[in-house]
Amino acid sequence: MIVVFGSVNIDLVCRTDHHPRPGETVPGSDYQLIPGGKGANQALAARRAGASVAMVGAVGDDDMAAAALAELTSAGVDLSALVRRGPTTGMAIITVDRHGENTIVLSPGANARLAHTDLAALSLGANDIVLLQMEVPLAESLAAAQAARAAGARIMLSIAPFLPVEREALAMADIILVNETEAADLARHLGLAAGPDGAATVATLAASLGRTVIATLGADGAVAAGGGETIAVPSLPIEPVDTTGAGDTFAGVLAAYLDRGESLETAMLYAAVAGSLACTKMGAQPSFPQKDAIEEAADRPPSAA
């Protein structure tokens, strides 16, 4: 089983031609309320890719909670360990420009009240993969990772959004996931020189940490380094509509295929395809592909993509 310990948000999304500069007001589209949150996104992406998934997260005592959980509920993610804590559900205020690039301001709400002890509602073992991100309190995520590791579970740590995680804490992870910016931030934080590109930085990080490090590189696919091996996989050639949640899709789908026993390279191939497909529709969760769509797109010749 895949267990996600992390955030649940409602995303308030507005499209605009360009992002406002400080002090500028720009016209936008009608807003949409869309389920999101990096934790919930990764849980849904893994579930849509065919995995059994449980979500350990927190929502508030407000009307947003049901909307935030709608996709997880209808997809059959196990919510038995989900808690209701405090007055408000996490909300991400997102603007998406004409290039599909976003800005996000996050009001954490109940995510700030998630505790590592909430993980104890599930019994973990060596067959489980636990996925964590950085939108709930870092100390709680690290304590949850420690408990999961003690139970023998594999740990995937997504350093998104970037937080300065210490070397000893990173050592708990079997796989560390970053994007290109997070890779450079992490290298700087650890006193390492970031490379000229994502692949070089990932190689430096993997060698220094002794862990598998994977970076998503947007249109350039993804690259992994670890154990003396480097793996690079391509993205699909797409016109991005909205990149929100693409990294989360990669993480969830990667976990789903690893959980199924696929090699790291195969899991990365499907994850990169899924991440690309997630950029072709508005919003985070509504854009996440089902297993059949991922595998069909992965098998299609490049010219037909």
Q: Which residues bind ligand RIB (CB under 6 A)?
A: 7, 9, 11, 36-38, 41, 92, 104, 106, 135, 244-245, 248, 284
- b/e code 179-188 from CB counts within 10 Å (16+ = b): bbebbbbbbe
**Which residues, other chains included, contact 86 with Cβ-Cβ below 8 Å and sequence gap of 6+?**
58, 60, 61, 109, 110, 112, 113
Q: How far is the CB of 130 from ligand RIB (least distance, A)?
A: 18
The runs of H, that is alpha helices, within the chain are 38-48, 64-75, 138-150, 167-170, 180-189, 198-209, 246-259, 264-278, 291-299
Look up tokens 């998503």; give the residue. Answer: 216
Judged by beta carbon, residue 226 or residue 283, the one nearer ligand RIB is 283
Residue (of 241, 230, 231) closest to 276 by Cα position: 241
Q: How far is the CB of 123 from ligand RIB (least distance, A)?
A: 28
Judged by beta carbon, residue 95 or residue 204, the one nearer ligand RIB is 95
Look up tokens 């997504």; give the residue. Answer: 158
**Which residues, other chains included, contact 199 with Cβ-Cβ below 8 Å and sequence gap of 6+?**
215, 217, 223, 225, 230, 232
Q: How far is the CB of 92 from ligand RIB (least distance, A)?
A: 3
Q: Starting from the edge strand earliest in sequence, which strands make up the sheet with 90-96, in order?
A: 32-36, 9-15, 90-96, 102-107
Q: How far is the CB of 210 from ligand RIB (least distance, A)?
A: 28
303 burial level (CB within 10 Å; 0-12, 13-18, 19+): exposed
Judged by beta carbon, residue 203 or residue 246, the one nearer ligand RIB is 246
Judged by beta carbon, residue 201 or residue 244, the one nearer ligand RIB is 244
- b/e code 215-249 from CB counts within 10 Å (16+ = b): bbbbebbbbbbbeeeebbbbbbebebbbbbbbbbb
Q: Which residue minimizes CB distance to ligand RIB?
A: 36
Judged by beta carbon, residue 124 or residue 215, the one nearer ligand RIB is 215
Judged by beta carbon, residue 71 or residue 78, the one nearer ligand RIB is 71
Q: How far is the CB of 79 from ligand RIB (least distance, A)?
A: 17
Q: How far is the CB of 38 from ligand RIB (least distance, A)?
A: 5
* Catalytic residue set: 248
